[in-house]
Structure 1
Amino acid sequence: MIKAPHPIPITGILFDKDGTLLDYAKSWVPVNYEIARIASRDDADLGATLLRATGMDPETGVVTADSLLAAGNTVEIAEGMVEAGAAWTREALTSALDELFSRSAAYAVPVTDLAALFATLRARGYKLGVASSDNEASIRRTAERFGFADCLDYVAGYDSGYGVKPEPGMVYGFCAATGLIPDEVVVVGDNNHDMHMGRSAGAGLTVAVLTGTGSRQSLAAASDHCLADITELLALLDRHPPAEAGEGEPLNEAAV
Structure 2
Amino acid sequence: MMAIKAILFDKDGTLVDFNATWFAVGDHLALEAAGGDRAEANVLMERAGYDFAAGKFRADSVFAAGTNAEIVDCWYPLASATERRERVAHFDEVTAVEGAARAVALPGIIDALSALHASGFRLAVATNDSTQGAERTLATLGVSQLFEAAYGYDAVANPKPAPDVIVAFADMAGLKPSEIAMVGDNNHDMETGRAAGAGLRVAVLSGTGTRATLEPLAHVVLGSIAELPGYLNGR
Q: TM-score, normalised by structure 1?
A: 0.86
Q: Deviations over 1:162-194 (max 9, x none)?
A: 420100000001101111101111100000000
Partner of 2:93 in structure 1? 99
Q: Does 1:148 align with 2:146?
A: no
8 A Cα contact 1:162 1:173, kept in partner: no
Q: Structure 1 residue 61: deviation in Å?
A: 3.1
Partner of 1:121 in structure 2? 116
Q: TM-score, normalised by structure 2?
A: 0.93
Moved more, 27-36 or 149-158: 27-36
Of residues 83, 88, 95, the one that matches 1:89 is 83
Whole-angstrom CA distance in 2 between matches of 1:164 and 1:14: 14
8 A Cα contact 1:114 1:148, kept in partner: no
Partner of 1:243 in structure 2? none
- Aligned 1:168-183 pairs, distance under 5 A: 168-183=163-178
Match of 2:40, SS? helix
Partner of 1:55 in structure 2? 49
8 A Cα contact 1:16 1:188, kept in partner: yes
Q: Structure 1 residue 114: deviation in Å?
A: 4.4
- Aligned 1:7-22 pairs, distance under 5 A: 7-22=1-16
Q: Structure 1 residue 93: deviation in Å?
A: 2.1
Return the letter of the residue paired with 1:228: G
Match of 2:216, SS? coil
Q: Deviations over 1:197-250 (max 9, x none)?
A: 00000000110111111100011111111111110001111122xxxxxxxxxx
Partner of 1:208 in structure 2? 203
For structure 1, the 5+ residue unaligned runs are 1-6, 241-256
Seen in structure 2, the aligned counterparts of structure 1 residues 162 and 11 have a Cα distance that, compared at 3 Å, is farther
Of residues 37, 40, 45, the one that matches 1:43 is 37
Return the letter of the residue paired with 1:129: A
Partner of 1:23 in structure 2? 17
Partner of 1:79 in structure 2? 73
Bigger CA radius of gyration = 1
Whole-angstrom CA distance in 2 between matches of 1:174 and 1:226: 23
* Greater helix share, structure number: 2
Return the letter of the residue paired with 2:65: A
Partner of 1:192 in structure 2? 187
Whole-angstrom CA distance in 1 between matches of 2:50 and 2:140: 27
Q: CA RMSD in A?
A: 1.7
